[in-house]
Structure 1
Amino acid sequence: MMTVDPASVGFSASRLRRIDDAVARWVDSERLAGAITLVARHGHVVHRQAYGMAEIETGRPMQRDTIVRIYSMSKPITAVTALTLYDEGLYQLDDPLAECIPSFADAPAAIKSDTGWDLVPQAKPLTIRHLFTHTSGIMYPSEDDTPAAAAYRQAFAQYRDSDLTLEAFTQILGSLPLAFQPGTDWRYGWSIDVLGRLVEVLTGQPFDVAMKERVLEPLGMVDTDFWVPPEKAGRLAAVYGPVEEGPQPERQRREARPQGLRVIEPSAGSPYLCERALKSGGGGLVSTIDDYYRFAQMLLNKGTYMGQRILGRKTVELMASNHLPAAMLPFNDWPTCAGHGFGLGVRVLLDVAQSGRLGSEGAYGWDGAASTYFWVDPKEDLTAIILPQHMPCTGFPVAQDVAVAVYQALED
């Protein structure tokens, strides 16, 4: 996987080096420990660079083979795994989920009324499409003052230190209220984890085995897994955050942010060093820059990479299409999602001007809790990835800085 002259695929080499400047400003000011970046166009890698430290305390630098927690960047991989079964005709998007996972048949929906909240039967069945698009009503635990949020807090308090199987985990989720009627709103949550359980039901295999056989192994993603085995433990990066705890303001200039970092999760003793029963398709994978590039390039190639077809061309197009009705847009208030719709496991750029960022209509991708981010831009035939290990990701715009540096370097 060699890099080529940027000019050969329409980039200005000198302007592309602004990626180095963009990341270095964060690292040199002690607001980011390190990161790895990659840019490819027309099937050729034009930029791949590691910056800063994987582990400050031991002086271990970020390297091309550093293993990072990709958290929610696991979701597109899970979506692709599930879509391989769609290609085989094992389900339709609008099939009721309860036909495969019966525990969701009677999950009530929380509805706001004049007197408070009511729990009512599903007006229309929760479908498989709702899982892909986060319109299921399945949520993450929160402090919201709603029946669904209260039920989640109570249900999972007793399992805080437990390692459930995916089957047991989804059984619990199916016993809880939905945050709204399926298909009527967007709420980030454990929908993609339930999609992983659907893969188990339809294949008769453990989810991680099905993912490896259908996606990871054909693509040669040798370092992507739900844990880091002992022989690779020395390659796992630590996770850092601002020295001052608390939420990070959106759109705050870099110079106004506190300098200094603290350890959020060290490499040694990380829970990722032990194999766990719960294989979280929504946030449980680790990976490397080269591995994730193989996945992203497969999507850009409309489902194929190095002679291995993972998805049909039309299936990738369906994945990268907006599935939300106009009335549901904008689907949340995150600045990174302005001007976007949502496809099958990825956000999709619909309006460049409304996004306030450089890009192309139809570009799609997703990010992760440690500020990781990837996107695929079919119009420009490019993909780019940035892998820091910095939490929280909210209000931390290093990925947006890199995206600007990528697009401003295009010459044709």
Structure 2
Amino acid sequence: MKALSDFIDRLTSWRIPWAEVMVIHRNETVFRYRSGLSNLEEETPIEEGRIFRMYSMTKIMTCVAALRLVEQGKMLLNDPLSAYLPEFAQMNVRKRLPDGRVVFEKAEKPILVRDLFTMTAGLSYDIGSPSIQQAVEQTEGKLPLRAFAEALAKEPLVFEPGTRWNYSLCHDLLAALVEVVDGRRFGAYIQEEITGPLGMRDTGFDLSAEQLSRLVPQYEYKDELGKPVRKDGNGYRLGTEYESGGAGLLSTVSDYALFLNALTNKGTSPDGVRIVSPATIDLMRTDHLTERTRGDFGWEQLKGYGYGLGVRTHVSQAVSGSLSPLGEFGWSGAGGCMAIVDPDSGLTVMYAQHLLNNQEPYSHPRLRNIVYANL
């Protein structure tokens, strides 16, 4: 796949400090390539085993974690959220009247469990909202998920549940729901039910001292300077005990590929560890957008894709211009990583980088086409 290594080199000679791709076909790693510098100041080449922030690629694992509870009959997608998190029983919706006035009205519809998966709960991504900031102070900077959920319920919704699609804190709230329904802390549940059984030793919300030594620096590209500038940390981590289901995991290319490849195999790893069922994978990659919500899902690089349970899912090659088959699914993260999960082709792609303002609309569709053209 010379075209793919050439493309990675092109990215790293452009504005992305380092990039790495791993391609697994029918459970065999058929291609792997990395290029660029993990540390620009010290000019260190990117090495194997470096840990980076998954950001929103965490969402795939959070949705899988929650779907396990659906499989076990512990909750249903059509249950009201308030059956488990009673603070969401009576929500207010912020509405702007034609004369410009803002009013708050009682929500007519309940938030359903499915709304958390599908980003239709009426939430925003306002991590600086007054209720959340107050909860951070009250928990002395810890903000465990249960306290986060209680704080979020005090904020008005931005639309009636189920009526619009809005990228938001839905999956962070879904992690809090998992905690309440299962009883364990979210990170412990993930470790005991998913990452541990799959042999993923470098994936979690917190790092050991040894893992911290392998955390790769993070950069942000500054157009006015014409270069990437160091910018470490994760702004979506709201407290020391906050295990963000939307953006909190750290991992490596090799580690996260183990998880993604289990999804490619319809929920079971090559050595027989079953995380979820084939039926769940198919439900996850079904397009859950409706005529009413489809217009809200408008990112340029996701033309021709619908939205499933926490993942993009390919619904129209005519619109996407993508060489991947229908039903190919996955998601990406703020630092630029991307997952391609394709059960029908037996294909898993794990792409990684660590650059905020990540150039995703340029790199991700091109990367996908190069992989499929060389399959």
**TM-score normalised by length of structure 2:** 0.93
Mean Cα deviation higher: 203-212 or 117-126: 117-126
- TM-aligned CA deviation for residue 313 of structure 1: 1.2
**1:46-96 Cα distance to aligned partner (Å, 9 max, x none):** 111221111122333222211110100000101111111111110110100
**1:312-337 Cα distance to aligned partner (Å, 9 max, x none):** 11011111111121332143221122
Correspondence for 1:167? 146
Residue type of the alignment partner of 2:254? D
Contact 2:284 2:309 in 1 (8 A): yes
Residue 60 (str. 1) matches residue 44 (str. 2): yes
Correspondence for 1:186? 165
Residue type of the alignment partner of 1:80? V
Residue 278 (str. 1) matches residue 242 (str. 2): yes
Contact 2:51 2:202 in 1 (8 A): yes
The whole-number CA distance in structure 2 between the counterparts of 1:394 and 1:101 is: 38
Correspondence for 2:107? 122
Matches within 5 A, 1:197-208: 197-208=176-187
Match of 1:371 among 317, 336, 340: 336
**1:301-359 Cα distance to aligned partner (Å, 9 max, x none):** 11100211111110111111111213321432211221111111111111122123332
Residue type of the alignment partner of 1:200? E
Match of 1:236 among 208, 211, 215: 215
Correspondence for 2:373? 408
The whole-number CA distance in structure 1 between the counterparts of 2:314 and 2:123 is: 24
Residue 75 (str. 1) matches residue 54 (str. 2): no
Contact 1:322 1:343 in 2 (8 A): yes
Residue type of the alignment partner of 2:369? V
- TM-aligned CA deviation for residue 395 of structure 1: 5.5
Match of 1:332 among 281, 297, 306: 297
Contact 2:264 2:347 in 1 (8 A): yes
The whole-number CA distance in structure 2 between the counterparts of 1:190 and 1:272 is: 10
Correspondence for 2:119? 134
Correspondence for 1:290? 254
> What is the DSSP-based 3-state SS (H/G/I as helix, E as strand, rest coil) of the residue aligned with 2:356?
coil
Matches within 5 A, 1:217-236: 217-236=196-215
Structure 1: which 5+ runs fail to align?
Answer: 1-15, 143-151, 246-257
Contact 1:331 1:341 in 2 (8 A): no
Mean Cα deviation higher: 397-406 or 216-225: 397-406
Q: 1:394 to 1:97 in 2, by over 3 A?
A: farther
Q: 1:409 to 1:330 in 2, by over 3 A?
A: farther
Mean Cα deviation higher: 377-386 or 94-103: 377-386
Residue 213 (str. 1) matches residue 192 (str. 2): yes
> What is the DSSP-based 3-state SS (H/G/I as helix, E as strand, rest coil) of the residue aligned with 2:331?
strand
**1:135-154 Cα distance to aligned partner (Å, 9 max, x none):** 00111118xxxxxxxxx633
The whole-number CA distance in structure 2 between the counterparts of 1:132 and 1:310 is: 18
Correspondence for 2:4? 19
> What is the DSSP-based 3-state SS (H/G/I as helix, E as strand, rest coil) of the residue aligned with 2:241?
coil
Match of 1:261 among 228, 231, 240: 228
Contact 1:131 1:191 in 2 (8 A): yes
> What is the DSSP-based 3-state SS (H/G/I as helix, E as strand, rest coil) of the residue aligned with 2:220?
strand
- TM-aligned CA deviation for residue 157 of structure 1: 4.8
Match of 1:155 among 116, 120, 131: 131
The whole-number CA distance in structure 2 between the counterparts of 1:34 and 1:203 is: 39
- TM-aligned CA deviation for residue 284 of structure 1: 0.4
Correspondence for 2:32? 48
Matches within 5 A, 1:335-346: 335-346=300-311
- TM-aligned CA deviation for residue 242 of structure 1: 1.6
Contact 1:330 1:339 in 2 (8 A): no
> What is the DSSP-based 3-state SS (H/G/I as helix, E as strand, rest coil) of the residue aligned with 1:304?
coil
Matches within 5 A, 1:79-98: 79-98=63-82
Contact 1:36 1:63 in 2 (8 A): no
Contact 1:36 1:64 in 2 (8 A): no
The whole-number CA distance in structure 2 between the counterparts of 1:263 and 1:354 is: 37
Q: 1:190 to 1:394 in 2, by over 3 A?
A: farther
Contact 1:339 1:352 in 2 (8 A): yes
The whole-number CA distance in structure 1 between the counterparts of 2:74 and 2:136 is: 34
- TM-aligned CA deviation for residue 396 of structure 1: 5.2
Moved over 6 A (4+): 270-273
Structure 2: which 5+ runs fail to align?
Answer: none
- TM-aligned CA deviation for residue 158 of structure 1: 4.8
RMSD (CA atoms): 2.2
The whole-number CA distance in structure 2 between the counterparts of 1:59 and 1:166 is: 39
- TM-aligned CA deviation for residue 223 of structure 1: 0.2
Q: 1:272 to 1:188 in 2, by over 3 A?
A: closer
Correspondence for 1:383? 348
**TM-score normalised by length of structure 1:** 0.85
